[in-house]
């Protein structure tokens, strides 16, 4: 693999959480891992399910890229600290973090159980707080700054019966912008991507009819679905030197779905 120098990522070190995917499917995290490696970064592929991370690494190494697969529980502070230390110990620095971990939930506040509400917040929000809490000092110490992308969701801006999920993803946007203000003086850029209707293993593994897929296609004003590559490409851009003057922004990668009403974009 010959790194694409235009990104300014050659020799840099990136952590991608949620970097695995079922089979050879291309989820948001796996796409980001592969694209960052193609740009010359060393990538620590983190997933709770180690074989899924190992498959991502095999795909990267098959192209001549540099990556390692690890399993850490990013809901635990000590595990996040160990994950950051792992990346630094392997490659001597930390420059980039892509936070992809998340789970879904359906129902209103009346329907939702207190236990599941807490679980959704723990997985979707606390993980990003904890990974950044440990990654930011390492970025400052080893690289003099860095870049972070947190993955939110279109549901944060267009609630549709997924209340706990929508609230958690809205919190991701607020967290990203607050960290951009807090750590800009440290040379840390923090941005957020919200995907729209993208067709990834997390979506199709749960089962999806062609009618449901067609509804998702029509949700986009472009009339097509997005893929993990679309999200991964946005992440690579925001982590790269091409985005050196961009921080605190929320980038929709949704085919224009937020431009139309819920009746078209349900």
Supply the residues annotated as catalytic. 165
Q: Cα separation of 261 and 3, whole Å?
A: 42
Q: Which two tokens stand for residue 92?
A: 């001597």
Question: If you write DSSP's letter for every residue of 146-177 in order, what string do you get?
Answer: EEEEEE--GGGTS--SBHHHHHHHHHHHHHHH
Burial of 2 (0-12, 13-18, 19+ CB in 10 A): exposed
Q: Cα separation of 83 and 57, whole Å?
A: 16
Cβ-based neighbours of 133, under 8 Å, separated by 6 or more: 77, 80
Residue among 74, 81, 67, 84 at smallest CA distance from 33: 67
Residue among 28, 152, 11 at smallest CA distance from 93: 11
22 touches 49 (CB < 8 A):
no
The position carrying tokens 């509804």 is 215
Q: Which two tokens stand for residue 12?
A: 């840099």
Residue 248 CA to its chain's centroid (Å)? 15
HSE of 77 in the Cβ direction (CA atoms, 13 Å)? 2
Report which DSSP code applies to 72. Answer: -
């Amino acid at each position: 693999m010959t790194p694409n120098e235009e990104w300014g990522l050659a020799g840099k070190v990136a952590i991608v959480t949620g970097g695995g995917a079922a089979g050879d499917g291309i989820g948001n995290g796996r796409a980001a891992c592969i694209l960052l490696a193609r740009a010359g970064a060393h990538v620590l592929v983190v997933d709770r399910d180690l074989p899924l991370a190992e498959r991502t690494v095999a795909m990267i190494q098959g192209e001549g890229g540099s990556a390692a697969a690890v399993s850490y529980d990013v809901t635990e502070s000590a595990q996040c600290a160990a994950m950051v230390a792992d990346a630094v110990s392997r490659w001597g620095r930390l420059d980039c973090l892509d936070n992809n971990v998340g789970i879904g939930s359906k129902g209103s506040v009346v329907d939702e159980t207190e236990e599941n509400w807490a679980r959704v917040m723990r997985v979707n929000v606390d993980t990003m707080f904890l990974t950044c809490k440990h990654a930011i000092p390492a970025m400052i110490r080893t690289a003099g700054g860095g870049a972070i992308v947190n993955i939110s969701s279109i549901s944060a801006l267009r609630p549709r019966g997924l209340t706990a999920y929508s609230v958690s993803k809205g919190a991701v946007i607020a967290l990203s912008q607050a960290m951009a203000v807090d750590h800009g003086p440290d040379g840390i850029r923090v941005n957020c991507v919200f995907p729209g209707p993208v067709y990834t293993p997390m979506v199709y593994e749960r089962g999806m009819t062609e009618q449901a897929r067609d509804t998702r296609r029509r949700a986009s004003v472009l009339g097509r679905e997005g893929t993990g590559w679309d999200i991964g490409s946005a992440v690579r851009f925001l982590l790269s030197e091409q985005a050196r003057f961009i921080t605190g922004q929320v980038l929709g990668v949704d085919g224009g779905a937020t431009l139309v009403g819920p009746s078209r974009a349900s």
